[in-house]
Amino acid sequence: MTTLLARLAGLCALMPAVVLATPADATIAACALDMGTTLDPRATAALERIDGAGRRLLALRSYLRSGQNLAERWSWSDGQIAAYAGSQEQQDMQREIERVREAFAAINPGYELWVNPQVRSLDTQLQNWNTNASVETAGAQLLDALQAHVAPSKLKHGCATRAGAAIQQFLLSYAPSPAPSLAAPGLSPHGQMRAVDFQVHRADQVVAGPSVATIDTDWDAAGWAGRLDTAVRSSGARFLGPLNHPREPWHYTFVPERVGAQ
């Protein structure tokens, strides 16, 4: 018992106090960090900044599932964001956004589309992930399911064991419920400015914004999802979408010309 307590005390030093809901959670949260050390160092560092075992496991699952694609999907650094400003790709995307805006304004007089022109930094994604309610709920469900699958007592010798391998296998096949409304930190398509969230504005008022809570009312009942989609398609702009899993009727992915030209 003394040994276990000493180990848990050591783990506590690694994590913010807020994550220590139970010793079992702490053990699993530390395990998630251990497993993360095999990933791209940027993902390893991101995991250390995620609060709580559930949120951390949920992110680890996404990182493991990204496999070889993680590096190319990873959010831009400050240097890459600076290089994008004024680049050909930025100009191309801006032109495509303008085509959608014009098509939308022509068929919806008095309304306009607005797009946040900022790349979503890793810091912002981490902050969102650590505070988002759907991530909290999905993380708690994942933690419960995992503890039913692998008893934390089996992890007292660390994660480089069969129990650790069992956790990894479990994460790779697990489908989160509910589906989190955010991509894991570092993997948001907004982190490379390859996606845009359109908003419908009238004068200075947001008529339909990028919020899951407004999908039923503003996007479906009021019809803005359909009107936005009509504008995107009729404009012929190089966007794919909208995002279906999780459903975000405002989210479209930009396809740079060189991708289609290959």
**Using CB under 5 A, which of the segments 6-14, 27-35, 44-52, 245-253 binds Zn ion?**
245-253
Give the span between the Cα atoms of 117 and 96, in whole angstroms: 13
Give the span between the Cα atoms of 207 and 173, in whole angstroms: 39
Asked if residue 251 binds Zn ion (CB under 5 A), the reply is yes
**Using CB under 5 A, which of the segments 7-15, 42-50, 123-131, 247-255 binds Zn ion?**
247-255
Asked if residue 120 binds Zn ion (CB under 5 A), the reply is no
Contact 170, 32 (CB under 8 A): no
**Using CB under 5 A, which of the segments 5-13, 16-24, 108-116, 195-203 binds Zn ion?**
195-203
Number of residues this chain uses to bind Zn ion (CB under 5 A): 2
Q: Distances in Å between the alpha carbon of 254 and those of 48, 82, 97, 163?
A: 31, 19, 9, 41
Residue with smaller CB distance to Zn ion, 238 or 251 = 251
**Using CB under 5 A, which of the segments 155-163, 173-181, 191-199, 226-234 binds Zn ion?**
191-199
Tell the smallest beta-carbon distance from residue 182 to Zn ion (Å). Answer: 9
Q: Which residues pair with 195 in a beta bridge?
A: 253
Q: What dihedral do alpha carbons 212, 218, 224, 225 form, nearest 10°? A: 30
Give the span between the Cα atoms of 162 and 165, in whole angstroms: 5
Tell the smallest beta-carbon distance from residue 190 to Zn ion (Å). Answer: 6
Residue with smaller CB distance to Zn ion, 57 or 190 = 190
Residue with smaller CB distance to Zn ion, 74 or 163 = 74
Give the span between the Cα atoms of 178 and 139, in whole angstroms: 9
Asked if residue 197 binds Zn ion (CB under 5 A), the reply is yes
Interacting residues with Zn ion (CB under 5 A): 197, 251
